[in-house]
Structure 1
């Protein structure tokens, strides 16, 4: 399996994700405007995981 090169610019990646999902939507005949927004958010979250470097304080 080849490695996927992710663009450093998140907005570029988001644009590609949304364009791809737009094509899928038209192929499936989905007309709802934000039908795949949760899916797009999930894809972005998996492509660019948030780095959790915050140390939790103990009382």
Structure 2
């Protein structure tokens, strides 16, 4: 998952299992937050003021 300023939490599927594993280990090892659900991540984002931009379509 990653944060998108317009959409909030978004799923990104990495089909390379070695790169996916290395990315997860890096993020966990460098203090990035880990969540058990999308709802938990969205709540954390609200509490920590992660930006959300309005769409101007």
TM-score by length of 2: 0.35
Richer in helix (by share): 1
- TM-score (structure 1 length as normaliser): 0.34
Q: Kindly indicate whether structure 1 or structure 2 has the higher relative contact order, using CA contacts under 8 Å at least 6 residues apart.
A: 2
Structure with higher strand content: 2
Q: Look at both structures and tell me which one has the larger radius of gyration over its CA atoms.
A: 1
